[in-house]
Chain A
Amino acid sequence: MSVRVAGVLGRAHQTWRRSLQVRVVTITLVASSLLVGGFAFLIADKITTILLDSARSDVRQRVTSGASYAAKQVSFYGQPQEAQLQETIDGTVNYLAGGDPQQTSGVVVAITADDYPNDIQTRTSPSANVQPLISPELRAAIADGKVASQIRTGRLTDETTKYLVYGSPVPTRFGQIELYYLVPLGRQDVTAADARATVVATGVALVILLGLLAALVTRLVVNPVRVAARTAQRLSAGLLDQRMVVNGEDDLALLAASFNQMATNLQRQILRLEEMSRLQRRFTSDVSHELRTPLTTVRMAADLIFAERDEFDPAVARSAELLQAELDRFEELLTDLLEISRFDAGFAMLDSEPTDLVPVVHRVVDRLAGLAERVGVPIELDLPGTPVIAEVDPRRVERVLRNLVGNAVEHGEARPVLITLGIDETAVAITVRDHGVGLKVGEEKLVFNRFWRADPSRARQTGGTGLGLSISLEDARLHGGWLEAWGAPGQGAQFRLTLPARAGDRLTTSPLRLVPADATLPFGGPRDGNPRDGGSRDGGQLAIGPGTGGALAIGPAPAGDGQRTEVHS
């Protein structure tokens, strides 16, 4: 039961939140109910008051004239014991009641003598027991010489009715007797009930009408808005030729027309940008391909020259060596450019397989051991003793790691580089920590830019192409993972690669922290102890990767498209 109620409430709440129409109609109904209810109350109350007042004044008049009549009638009698007094009272009561006991208007007239209970008997016409209807308070008020009234419910004749009991003292020569009129309020009651029913019916009808009206009006307004929303959704989903129907010349038509105008402009702009982007990528790809062929020829020639360098004089031999080295770099650059252009063209394919990442790390370290030794940077490893299995593309992961470790060694400043491998239920992470010059504020984002350099004037020591981190970022993204950077001047830098343990899963946390434990924060505030959200709170350590597609750069990306555009660095 309570589950059902909770379900109904939940649905109602959902409906309330989602439907503007429901809200408007509800508010209209509630407000108009209160207003109409208030008015209905006032009107019904007024009607009742008027009915009662007129009955009161009517009866009051009768009571006043009746009392003066009775006073005249009994004015002959100087003592309550007089014989004809009772007879006179009988006659007076009958007369005041209309004379004919058969003719019943329901009004009961009574004369009592509370002060002389032994001498004068209470008389009523038509005969009825009125005592229960005359309350002691009313008696007291009338005994005090006041004309007073009270509404009482009781049974005098056949049925229980509300009575307006009006009493007046009747002065006599020997004291005071009391005249009461008991007037049934049945007619007034029925009239009041009728009026009430009419008012309620009118009010309810009015409220319902207002609700319908509100629903209609809201519908008139909300429908185009809904259409606009739907159209906007479709537009954002890429259906750029969606347009709204323009009807008439009103505000909504203006909205639709403006919307359509906007959509048209956007579509044109997007198409232009897409075309430009496509041309650029094509150009890069084409240039790379076109360069490869002459390069192969140059290479073969250079290889020949290089092989024969011992036969040349030392200056020429040195040139052959330089040619060989620069050709290597050129080839690398071309490879990277091709790789980038593949990413840009969307041709990059992930070749996932369950892979133990520990050997991958060892392989990378081994390959870079020579370079490290040359620059004097020791590489330290912090790897778990068990295999770290994840569904990844080992070639790409290795490339990323090679890139990261290579960078770390290159910028290591002869201080150790620490590689840490972490895993939890959903993700694996690898951090690469160096203790070089570190990154300035804002550079965490820039490091992933193509051909970006921390210090443009600094000569390149190693043969980096300037595209390594960009490619690494694309690789991480292709896995649905994160590649993030942290750095502080003088404290070195740390890069973290986080990948889902199973291909296609969404990442929520990383097993390792982005900010190294030995780093000092500039403001001494709380550290980012919860790196999984790694987000806006650590603004300084957050970098947004460059957009890869023109379409994605202009609007909010639809959730769940599998491709993260926001990359934590």
Chain B
Amino acid sequence: MRRPTLLGTFGVMVLLGAGCGIPAASDVRVDGKGGAATEAGVISRGSEPPTRTASGTLQEVFVRNFLSAAAGEPDRAYERVKAFVAPEDKIRLQDKKGSEVALNVVRLREAVYTPNRDLTTTVKITVQQIGVLRANGTLAPPVATETEYEFGLRSASFDGGVDDDRAGLYIIDPPNVLLLSDTALRQYYQDETIYFWSSDRTRLVPDQRYRPQAVPVERRVNEVVKWLVGGPSDWLRPGVVGLPDRTELINNATGGNGRWEVNLDMPSDDQNGIDQLITQIAWSLGDLPGQLELKIRNNAQPVVILGERRNSHALYPHAASPLRFGVYDGAIHPLDFEGEPSGTVPLAPEVNRNVVSASLGFAKDRRILAAMVVTGSKNRYRLAVGTGVEPVSVLSRSSTEYSSISRPVWLRMVDSRPGRGLVVADGQLYRFDETARMYQMPLNLPSGEVTAVAAALDGQRVALIAGGRLYVAAVNLDGGGVSIGPPRELVTSLTNPTAVDWGREDQLVVAGSVGQPALYEISVDGALETPLRTDLGAKVNHLTAYPSNRGVRAPSGAYMYEVNGVAYRSSPFERIEPSRVRGIAPVPAGVRQSNPSAPFFLY
């Protein structure tokens, strides 16, 4: 009885023990082919800076290439620059890692090459420090104060004697910083505009970034989202808000073929905030078409078509095509040009008098905001402000008269809050409201006298000229007041700027002097300069521009200015003749016809 039972149980155990259970090791089980290989080959890349030997033994070209070498992805900037440095001197260039990598962007003024006895060449370059290009693509104000750098050149050929074209040259005794010339910045970087929400979260404010062209376009979304996560430029911070704290991009933003996927780790899951974030990303991606799938901690949000999102959430909702106006004989008149729309003066005739300069703008529901400098008594001026639907027939006047008042500017808002503007009077910056009350704005600037102010289309940024220097600053419109953040000085080639306005979202049109009066377009960080006119002959005392933006097709003449009492417009560049002024009585023959002055755009 016992024996068979034991036998049976034993048999069961053996069967179970041997045949069942998860084995300790198994054979390799192949499930089939893995994912289809992505298209092999090199990614489409933009231009990259030339290598050390590309210049041969041409010293000037070599130095230029050296000043371009740092361009590209910041991680390998030191590596690229060190490739130019003689092996024995590489140790002098101390590596920095990650976000500490910063490129000193300089404007090369002069380079002096002095041959030495030992067949080396000493190079002394004179530079203007423009700013520091950080790893996050922002160009911060310059830290270094050097205006000169000195280093040596030697042949890279082994015998050290004859220069060998193929061996090229080496930098010896290099400066212990990464230098990047402004031309290299222009050549090897793509400037991108990303957007941050204003601090009251009513509108998007542009922020300028530089994307190395070495970064393949496929990574553009990734870079943009990283920038957004990283937060706005320092000078913008008072006026805008970044993404919520501790927001992180989870790995890379991926995609292609018109579909992009962004996965964020974000503490807030406020749906409104997420929706705004999508809008922010959509605009920050420029004109990129396709679909965006945003995931917040892996929770997918509805897929958004980028183009549709941009169409439905305009950056500048109330900015229409600009209409040109000018002041003629103390009254505002429309200026007519072929092929351009022109409007009527939105002021009642009884208040359209004694105007020196004016600023008109549309607010919500096509309400007109009108601010004018009108003549007071004995060469003194007052600020007159009127608001309301067209035509504006009531003006409030400032209680104080000033000996000089610059052209007032409106800080444009998208909602129906009362309009607010800025104006410079007697060297002081004032803000004014719809009742023409003026409040002085304290500015934390070394030299006090403010000569010009210009507000960007978004109303959150202003450009200032104070003490002969050009500044930009963020504006905070929270609550009822207006406050201006710490101004950031722009280092430009221009001296003695006299007038400024915003020519584009990230470009200023600045009138100043480069030995002679000139008109430059300068990027909002001062790094990129484009001469617009250098043959003005005299100082520009009035400058106005319509900021071309992605909301509205730019008109042919994006800016207008006044020199020596004569008004001009751009593209085509021409003088604004009195014949352009609509609604003026014909001047009898022999009488010298007065010129239209203080031209401005209504938008």
Asked if B26 lies at the interface with its beta carbon under 8 angstroms from chain A, I say yes
Q: Which residues on the A side are within 8 Å of B261 (C-beta)?
A: 72
- CB of B39 within 8 Å of the partner chain: yes
A541 within 8 A of B: no
Residues of B within 8 A of A47 (CB): 20
Min C-beta distance of B23 to chain A, whole Å: 6
A111 CB to nearest B CB, Å? 12
Stretch at the interface among A149-157, A420-428, A488-496: A149-157
- Interface status of B571 (Cβ within 8 A of chain A): no
Q: Are A38 and B251 in contact, CB atoms less than 8 angstroms apart?
A: no
- Which residues of A, 23-65, contact B by the 8 Å Cβ criterion? 25-26, 29-30, 32-34, 36-38, 40-41, 44-45, 47-48, 51-52, 60, 64
Q: Closest A-chain residue to B76, C-beta based?
A: A83
- Pick from B40, B41, B45 the residue with the most CB of A within 10 Å: B40
Q: Is the CB of B26 within 8 A of A151?
A: yes
- Residue of chain B at shortest CB distance from A78: B43
Evaluate contact between B250 and A99: CB separation under 8 angstroms. yes
- Bound together, the chains give a CA A185 to CA B25 distance in angstroms of 12
Select one of A12, A40, A68, A75 contacting B16, CB under 8 A: A40
Separation in Å of the A73 CB from the closest CB of chain B? 5
**Contacting residue for B254 out of A73, A99, A162, A172, CB 8 A:** A73
Whether the pair B34, A168 counts as a contact (CB closer than 8 A) is yes
Pick the contact of A188: B22, B25, B37, B251 (CB < 8 A).
B22
Among the stretches B6-14, B198-206, B403-411, B419-427, the one at the interface with A is B6-14
Partner of B20 from A36, A150, A192 at Cβ < 8 Å: A192
Quick one: CB contact mask for A145-176 with B, threshold 8 Å, 1 for yes?
Answer: 11111111100000000100000111111101
B32 with A146: CB separation less than 8 A: yes
> What 0/1 pattern do residues 233 to 250 of B give for CB contact below 8 A with A?
000000000000000001
For residue B252, CB closer than 8 A to chain A, the reply is: yes
Among A83, A91, A189, point to the contact of B22 (Cβ < 8 A): A189
A80 on the B face (CB < 8 A): no
Tell me the residues in window 209-245 of chain B with beta carbons closer than 8 Å to chain A beta carbons: 216, 218-219, 222
Instruction: Name the interface size band of chain A.
Output: 35 or more
**B5 cross-chain contacts in A, Cβ below 8 A:** 29, 33, 207-208, 211
| Contact pattern, B 22-62, Cβ under 8 Å of A = 1, otherwise 0 | 11111111111111111111110100000000000000000
Whether A30 lies near B21 (C-beta < 8 A) is no
A22 on interface, CB distance cutoff 8 Å: yes
Q: What B residues does A34 contact at CB under 8 A? A: 8, 11
State A199–B219 Cα separation when bound (angstroms): 57
Compute how far the CA of A456 lies from the CA of B46 in the bound complex, rounded to whole angstroms: 145
Contact A67 B35 (CB under 8 A): yes
Residue of A at shortest CB range from B222?
A76
The verdict on B165 contacting chain A, using a C-beta distance below 8 Å, is: no
Residue pair B29, A148 in contact (C-beta under 8 Å): yes
Inter-chain contacts of B591 with A (CB < 8 A):
none
Tell me whether A71 is interfacial, beta carbon within 8 Å: yes
Shortest distance between the CB of B573 and any CB in chain A (Å): 44
- A84 to B253 CA separation, bound complex (whole angstroms): 13
**Which residues of A are found within 8 Å of B73, using beta-carbon distances?**
82-84
B467 interfacial contact with A, CB 8 Å: no
Residue of A nearest to B10 (CB): A33
> Is the beta-carbon distance between A200 and B76 smaller than 8 angstroms?
no
Question: B16, B29, B34, B250: which contacts A142 (Cβ < 8 A)?
Answer: B34
Q: Which residues of B contact A145 (CB under 8 A)?
A: 33-34, 37
Per-residue B-contact encoding for A65-107, CB less than 8 Å = 1, 0 else: 0011101110111100011100010011001000100000000
Known A84-B73, A92-B251; judge A76-B38 contact (CB<8 A): no
Chain B, Cβ-Cβ closest to A91: B251
Residues in B neighbouring A200, C-beta threshold 8 A:
12-13, 16
**B residues near A77, Cβ cutoff 8 Å:** 43
Task: Verify B7–A30 contact, CB threshold 8 A.
Answer: yes
Contact B31 A22 (CB under 8 A): no
From the candidates B12, B31, B254, name the one contacting A40 in the complex (CB within 8 A). B12
- For the complex, give the distance between the alpha carbons of A389 and B5 in Å: 61
Kindly report which residue of chain A lies nearest to residue B18, judged by CB atoms: A41
User: What residue in chain A is nearest B12 (Cβ atoms)?
Assistant: A37
Identify which of residues 100-120 in chain B touch chain A, using a CB-to-CB cut-off of 8 Å: none
Contacts A44-B20, A200-B12; is A71 near B29 (CB within 8 Å)? Answer: no
The answer to whether the Cβ of B255 comes within 8 Å of any Cβ in the partner chain is yes
Tell whether A26 pairs with B23 under 8 Å between CB atoms, given A41-B16, A75-B256, A91-B252. no
Q: Which of A138, A147, A196 contacts B32 (CB 8 A)?
A: A147
Q: Is the CB of A44 within 8 A of B16?
A: yes
A38, B14: Cα distance in complex, Å: 11
- Asked if A290 is at the interface of the complex by the 8 Å CB criterion, the answer is no
Inter-chain CA distance A33–B222, complex, in Å, is 66
Contact of B30 among A64, A147, A174, A199 (CB under 8 A): A147
Report the separation of the CA atoms of residues A91 and B5 in the bound assembly, to the nearest whole angstrom. 60
Q: Does A265 contact B (CB under 8 A)?
A: no
A46 to B8, CA, bound (A): 21
Contact indicator A151/B23 (Cβ below 8 Å): yes
Could you tell me if B20 and A196 are in contact, using CB atoms closer than 8 angstroms? yes
Which residues from A are CB-within-8-Å of B22? 48, 51-52, 151, 162, 185, 188-189, 192
Closest CB-CB distance, A167 to chain B, in whole Å?
9
Is B583 in contact with chain A by the CB < 8 A criterion? no
Which of B24, B38, B75, B254 is the one whose CB lies under 8 Å from A84? B75
Q: Does B515 touch A at the CB level, under 8 Å? A: no
A residues in contact with B39, CB < 8 Å: 173
B390 to chain A, nearest CB (A): 53
B34 touches which of A171, A189, A208 (Cβ 8 Å): A171
Determine the chain B residues whose CB is within 8 A of the CB of A60 once the complex forms: 31
By CB atoms of chain A within 10 A, which of B13, B30, B45 has the most?
B30
Closest approach, in angstroms, between the C-beta of A216 and any C-beta of chain B? 14
A173 to B219, CA, bound (A): 14
Residues of chain B within 8 A (CB-CB) of A95 are 250-251
Evaluate contact between A37 and B4: CB separation under 8 angstroms.
Answer: no
A153 touching B1, Cβ below 8 Å: no
Q: Which residues of B contact A82 (CB under 8 A)?
A: 73
Decide: A173 and B43 in contact? CB cutoff 8 A: yes
Q: Do A141 and B30 touch (CB < 8 A)?
A: yes
Minimum Cβ distance to chain A for residue B219 (Å): 5
Interface residues of B in 67-82 (CB under 8 A from A): 73, 75-76
List residues of B (298-333) whose CB comes within 8 Å of A's CBs: none
6 closest A-B pairs by beta carbon, nearest first, are: A33-B8, A83-B75, A37-B12, A72-B254, A169-B34, A171-B37
Q: List 26 A-B contacts (CB under 8 A).
A: A12-B3, A30-B7, A37-B16, A45-B20, A47-B20, A48-B20, A51-B22, A71-B35, A73-B251, A75-B38, A76-B218, A76-B219, A76-B254, A78-B45, A91-B252, A95-B250, A141-B30, A145-B33, A146-B30, A146-B31, A147-B34, A148-B30, A148-B31, A151-B23, A185-B22, A207-B5
Interface residues in chain A, defined as those with a beta carbon under 8 Å from any beta carbon in chain B: 12, 22, 25-26, 29-30, 32-34, 36-38, 40-41, 44-45, 47-48, 51-52, 60, 64, 67-69, 71-73, 75-78, 82-84, 88, 91-92, 95, 99, 135, 137-138, 141-142, 145-153, 162, 168-174, 176, 185, 188-189, 192-193, 196, 199-200, 203-204, 207-208, 211
